[in-house]
Amino acid sequence: QLAGRRVLVSAGGTQEAIDPVRYLANRSTGKQGHALAEEAHRRGAEVTLVTTSTIESSPGIERHQVTSAAQMADAVFAAAAATDLVIMAAAVADFTPATKTDGTPSIELVPTVDILAELGRRRTPHQILVGFAAETNDVEANAKAKLERKGVDLLVANDVGAEGVGFAHDTNEVLILSRSGARVRVPLTDKVAVAGRVLDAAAAAFSHPPAPAGTPGRGGPRPPRRRPGGGAQP
Ligand code: CTP
């Protein structure tokens, strides 16, 4: 069901600069996001990947290398309007250091843009939005609340406190909740298999065939290639 669809995936953890040398980061490696991009590509979608990760990607995937939450926001917003399915698998920092002044070292944090919530506000008709949630307790209740709060169609929740789940592992165990009330539990398996289940759920959310090539915004010309932050493609 993904053949001919335009799919945008974000992957990896963002780095937020404290100064030119140091940064704040998180434990995400980008494995789950890259697995989603590769699986969508394998299923015939036109895939754009916005990533902070150094994991390689297939040549047929349009890749934008970014570092910070702000760069990720720019790259995602630039591509999102022309996509059918947006999957925010990235671990985006919720806060970034404020501009540093001289004096006693201290890190003051300011909020970043909530990319997914903004995508929810900007969504185009028929576009499917997928968010991820890394939870440590009350996984299902928190995931349901996040699905509503962020205005997404699917929310993929993982219990990052569980063995073999979440950041840096090759395996994952997730609960996929959909706006329609559907609920799919994917037991511990490799991240490629999890990607397949997430894409199955996303494909089921499409209730219309892909638009023919040439239709503006859906199957029409792709947005120009951008590499925010000047990052090189690994
Ligand atoms: N996300 C985003 N932009 C941000 C932060 C998060 O787009 N600035 C996206 C992530 O890519 C993920 C989803 O939002 O798909 C959930 O992220 P999370 O940080 O868990 O959500 P929060 O609303 O910050 O929830 P919490 O209070 O549990 O941290």
Q: Whose CA is nearest to atom 14 of ligand 1?
A: 116
pLDDT at 209: 57
Instruction: Count the neighbouring beta carbons within 10 Å of the beta carbon of residue 101.
Output: 8
Residue bearing the bigger pLDDT, 17 or 220: 17
229 pLDDT more than 70: no
pLDDT at 167: 82
pLDDT at 231: 33
Q: What's the half-sphere exposure (Cβ side, CA atoms, 13 Å) at 149? A: 10
H or E element in which residue 200 lies:
helix 191-205
Q: Whose CA is nearest to atom 29 of ligand 1?
A: 94
H or E element in which residue 154 lies:
strand 154-159
Q: Whose CA is nearest to atom 20 of ligand 1?
A: 133
- CA torsion 110→21→51→216, rounded to 10°? 60
What pLDDT band is residue 35 in, cutting at 50, 70 and 90?
A: very high
86 with 8: CB under 8 angstroms?
yes
Active site residue 142: no
- Average pLDDT, integer, range 153-160: 92
Residue bearing the bigger pLDDT, 2 or 221: 2
Average pLDDT, the chain: 87
Amino acid at 207: S
139 pLDDT more than 50: yes
Q: Please say whether the dihedral angle defined by the alpha carbons of residues 103, 104, 110 and 112, taken in this order, is positive or negative.
A: positive
pLDDT digits (tens, 9 = 90+) for 166-217: 787 889 999 999 998 999 999 999 999 999 999 999 999 986 555 555 444 4
Q: Which of 77, 132, 147, 177 to mutate to test ligand 1, by most ligand atoms within 8 A of the CB atom? A: 132
Q: Left (φ > 0), alpha (ψ -120 to 50) or beta: where does 72 sit?
A: alpha
